[in-house]
Amino acid sequence: MMHQQSMMVGDMLPVHPEIPHGEEMNNVGYENSGANAYDDLFPALPHSAPPVQRHIQQATSKLRVGSSLHTQVFHVPYEERKLDNANTFGEGESLRTCQAITKDTGAHIEISTSKDGSLTFLLTGKHSAVLDARRKILTHFQQQASKQISIPKEHHRWILGKQGQKLKDLEKVTATKISVPAIGDTSEVVTITGTKEGIEKAEHEIRVCSEEQSRKAFERITVPKIYHPFIQGPYGERVAALTAETGARVHIPPASTQSEEIVVAGEKNGVLAAKAQIEQIAEDMAKKCSTVRVEVPKSQHKYVIGARGTTIQEILKETGVSVEMPPPDSPTGTITLHGPHNKIGLALSKVCEKANSVKTATVDAPTWIHKYIIGKNGSNIKKITQDFSKVHVDITHSEDKVKIDGPPEEVERAQVELNDFVKNLIATLTYVELSVDPKFFKHIIGKSGANINRLKDETGVVINIIEAEGNNVIRIEGSHQGVADAERKLREMVMKLENERSKEVYVDHRYIKSLIGVRGDRIKEIREKFERVLITLPDQGQKRSPIKLRGPQEDIEKCEKHLNKMIKEIAESSYVQEVPIFKQFHKFIIGKGGANLRKIRDETQTQIDLPAEGDDSDVITVRGKRENVEEAVKKIQQIHNEKANVVTEEVTIPPKYYNSLIGAGGKLIHSIMEECGGVLIKFPAADSDSDKVVIKGPGEDVEKAKAQLLAHASERELTSHTATVRARAEHHKFLIGKSGANIRKIREHTGARIIFPTDKDEDKEAIFIIGREEQVEAARKQLEAAVAEISNVSESEMAVAPRHHRHFVARRGEVLRRIADDCGGVQISFPRQGVNSDRVVLKGPKDCIEAAKQRINEIIEDLEAKVTIECVIPQKHHRTVMGARGSKVKDITAECDVQIKFPERDTAEGADIPVRNGDDEHAANDVIRITGRPENCEAAKKALLEQVPITIEVEVPNDLHRLLAGQKRRELMQTYDVHILLPPNDEPSDIVKVTGTPTNVEKAKEALAEKIVEMEKEKEDRALRSYELKFKVDPEYHPLVIGKSGVVITKIRTDYGVQINLPKRGEPDDDVITIQGYEDKAHQAKDAIMAIVHQLDNQYREEVDIDPRVHRRLIGQRGKNIRKIMDEYKVDIRFPRQGDDSIVVITGDEDNVLDAKDHLLNVAEEYLQDVSDRYTRPAAPSLDFGEALASEPAAAAAAPASSGAAAGGGPPAAGFVVRGGPWEQRAPDTASTRDFPTMPGAPRAAAAAAAAAPQPAPAPAPAPALAAWGPRR
């Protein structure tokens, strides 16, 4: 039996990083016992992947509610792991598996890998979630036992049972996975996967089933359960020997089952011999066997059992006594021993020895420090138990103690360490709980947790807000000083919140922007004036949201009064009036240099806004206090009237024509105003009784506008005769007729416009006629005659056979409603259900009744002539025939006026294969039934059969398949609604299969033929475009051929339609440029490139020797400086790529090159002087690291005054000395030819660099090494 050693750890909560742990809580002191090595003091961290990040709950999350958490730690030994090719923690499938288990169960999982390859899991969550996660982890990460047994092939069907039900039941009972080879597989191996107990049960049942079906001998022997281990023998040796001796197969039920039957199968003689020996063994043991029971705590049973039951087998082998363990669910811990009298004592001793090999101890620890014992991510508990691999630590959140079990020596040591750790925590840490009203929690937390996080950082404590029914507390944990400070600050915050009040001030949303002010100046001033009041403004767009004030009562009242005063002032100064002034006169309003406008603004204290130059509007807007705005408007109009010949004239027009004169959206009146020079036309207000229309503008334009207005009004008067005809609302549809036929006829005949009331009109009976007088009169007479005729409603009857009634009244009378709509709304009444009558009553106008009777008779004739025919189409084609969402069938049904019913789909295996019982019989699932008139049914059947897909083969050359695949193939399939199947790539076939309806297939075939021609041409064109031309160009010219951001080479590629590939610098053929494309275009592109090269060859070239130390400053950030120089002097400047090369190349016109050279040398000389000054400057004082640094000659020479003790002649200062640190590393000597040898092929650069380098001033030897890095900044 397999047992997994596990470590139980209690509830785990976050630990603040600043709370000290372990030795960190003690005072720290240094003892100078000599120099210490840097690598010893600061060892390198081990190479490991970061642990799985835990989710840290933010203060903005939902307030935590106290809950009982459970934490469990357990190990998976390396030899029992399922390896997933993950060499380090957190990689491979392990991380994804843990994330999936966390998502499924809700338990938090942390995983780590030990040096020996074993896995350690730390699970945190609710108890049920932890158990569920542990089970899934063991399934994924620990090897599951698997066993293969050989069962004769002919017995497999008996194991499977009917439809595999017997195998499913067996898997369910034994909790295993059983794999039986398929029918076509000749293998006899059956594989069982699962726990050891489950495998034993499943194997036993399978073998019993197999032997029962075997024609060989088969015996069931009933032997008491207590003798089975003696027949089995230690490690199964006796039963194996028995099988080898007799050739019979002996199946002993596993210990976990209660069966006493031992099954023996095989050859008859062997079975009888095996049976006799089994019975003899049982008889002998019955004579000398005795039983002893001993009580052992259940927690120690696993040590008696041993790994996979090896201890029990070992005791059986050494003493001949079997050890019977109680079932796992047994409440008692009684272990039973069976065996010879003289061996029982020895076996009992061994059992007690194994059981007592483990000791259990407890350490008193309050539950609130459990999380600190565990540590962040389990760090503390791992540190304590890292040297005790066999020790189990169980921390339960509900108990004030920690349980430890394991080997006695390790348990005692672990207990001492844990006890010291707990005492240290209790002495260092404390906690306080504050009862706070929950309504203050959000203010204590602050926006995005700002307040609570700031308090945690300042005091270094852990603060948990626990909100539960009847228990709302804030718990503070940490050091004594930190808890005291945090408690004091929280109480002050709560007291302040309890004294605060809140108030809402409602303000018109239009004034909010003014209240805020430019860049928030006004609201900032208010907040500074009332510092103790929190002012919250509403969001933009919210019209009814108030301004919220929170703070002390007195301050809130003052702030409210101040706000109301400001709002009143803003409201008074927010009056707006618009003044229409002709655009050409705006310049007079503005005045010279804006003098007039500025004068009006200053005198009236108003804001005046004029439209922009490109704006079509001519309205000037004035804002401010009402009296000031009116004064400013008066001044503006005065200037306008003085400068312009503006006249005002009134025209009398009846108000009933106003709407038609204005037009839809004011289009008509605006067009008149624009045509007449932009005059202003103003109509009286809607609630005014005046009929005067005012026209204002230049005299000629006013006259022109007046004439147009009067002309339009006269035309409206001629065509505005109206008349009213009244008719009942239910008769309106008869007057209108089907699709408006009746009313359209009257309109065309008379030319009048007829308007029927809508649902919004109050008078539903009034029909209005509009037009010229004679038109209105003629339409009125015709409408009145029609109304009189319709009002004469008659009633009629007709006979309809009762068998057809259902068709008319089905689906809530849909057919009757359709007839009524088509026939002028006639009312049709069929007999009630259950009344045996053929009388149908029709009410309505005579013409409508006759039309309805005719339509009913047509429907009855169709029903009488309706037939049902069958259309046989294999079921596998039904989906194709139906189309997407039945679209094809719907079209056929509507077009042929039939009903089509497809059979239910048979989902059984092989249902798609047509089965025929006779020549004229078809499978029921292949028959489609069509109902309707005979001719319609035949047409529908033909249409259905045309939808049955066929497959044809089209020959397409194999070398074109690659071109056909992809977009071309998808376009053909979508265009012609077919499926095109290409042969596999490894099959040299020219046949392409096209599947679809016959019509579509033929169209697709023709399209394919056209595509083949196109692809052949494309293939030829591709061959022509694959011409490749190679030629050499010095790599020095490559950047110029490419151009800035690739502009030059991109233009060549675009102009000639070619591909140009330039080699990378340093490649073997880095001077070869390759051009691919049409042959003539490739040569033209080559000529274009060579033209650039020749042009560059003809330019003057100068090489300048400049110290490499100033190259970067000359180039500037991202080449800014050098680009400026190149643009200024119209030259190209190239710096060397090697850091020690000093040659800079300048190319261009000779004069420009020489000017650029002089400029570069001057700038370089300035930069070089700066570099020389900086490098020879005395080094700044550095930190004193004692003797370790004082002994270094370089440090002594470079900074003689860096040590005060040395300067004064005293002994060096004693301190904590570290040798070998990074600060002791010497700077490299760049002038050394040994450390920096000259690269081959660059003698000129090296010589130039040596010549250009400045000669250092005389100094002590170590000085240049230190100066190479420059002074410390």
- Tens of pLDDT, residues 1142-1185: 888 888 888 888 889 888 888 888 888 877 666 554 444 443 43
Using CA atoms, how far apart are residues 1239 and 1236, in angstroms rounded to an integer? Answer: 9
| Most confident among 157-171, 388-402, 633-647, 662-676 (mean pLDDT) | 157-171
Least reliable range by pLDDT among 50-64, 566-580, 891-905: 50-64
Residue 960 has a pLDDT of 81
pLDDT of residue 52: 41
Task: Tell me what the pLDDT averaged over the chain comes to.
Answer: 76
Cα separations (Å) of 220 from 207, 208, 263, 295, 612?
Answer: 13, 10, 5, 35, 110
Q: What are phi and psi of 406, to 5 degrees?
A: 160, -165
1231: pLDDT confidence band, cut at 50, 70 and 90? low
pLDDT at 1179: 44
Amino acid letter for position 343: K
pLDDT, tens digit, 9 for 90 and up, residues 691-707: 888 888 777 788 888 88
The CA distance from 469 to 214, in Å, is 69
Helix, coil or strand: residue 1160:
helix
Find the largest Cα–Cα distance for the chain: 143
- pLDDT digit string (tens) for 997-1021? 888 888 888 888 888 888 888 888 8
Q: What percent of the chain has a predicted confidence (pLDDT) above 90?
A: 0
Between 63 and 626, where is the model more confident? 626
**Which pLDDT does position 399 carry in this prediction?**
79
Q: Can you give the pLDDT at residue 51?
A: 43
Q: Which two tokens stand for residue 824?
A: 């002028």
Stronger pLDDT, 715 or 982, i.e. the higher one = 982
Which carries the bigger pLDDT value, residue 1193 or residue 189? 189
CB atoms within 10 A of CB 419: 16
998 and 947 Cβ atoms separated by less than 8 Å: no
Amino acid at 496: K
Could you tell me which of 801, 802, 767 has the C-alpha nearest to residue 786? 767
Predicted pLDDT of residue 1152: 87
pLDDT band for 719, please (50, 70, 90 cuts).
Answer: low
Q: How far is CA 390 from the centre of its chain?
A: 44
pTM score over 0.85: no
pLDDT, tens digit (0-9, with 9 covering 90-100), for 721-776: 778 888 877 677 778 876 778 888 888 888 787 888 877 777 878 888 877 778 88
Could you tell me if 963 and 894 are in contact, meaning their C-beta atoms sit under 8 angstroms apart? no
Cβ atoms within 10 Å of 269's Cβ, excluding its own: 12
d(CA 1094, CA 1037): 10
Buried b (16+ CB within 10 A) or exposed e, 22-40: eeeeeeeeeeeeeebebee
| pLDDT mean over 35-52 | 53
Give me the residues paired with residue 547 across strands: 505
At residue 1075, the pLDDT reads 92
Instruction: Please report the sign of the dihedral spanned by the C-alpha atoms of residue 508, residue 511, residue 516, residue 519.
Output: positive
Bridge partner list, 222? 261
For the cut 80, the answer to whether the pLDDT of residue 1211 exceeds it is no
Element (H, E) at 1076: strand 1072-1077
Weakest-pLDDT range from 669-673, 730-734, 1029-1033: 730-734
The burial class, CB within 10 Å (0-12 / 13-18 / 19+), for 538 is middle
C-alpha angle 261/262/265, rounded to 5°? 130
Token pair of 888 as six digits: 């094809």
- Selected residue with higher pLDDT from 267 and 730: 267
Eight-class DSSP state of 252: P
Report which residue type is found at 280: Q
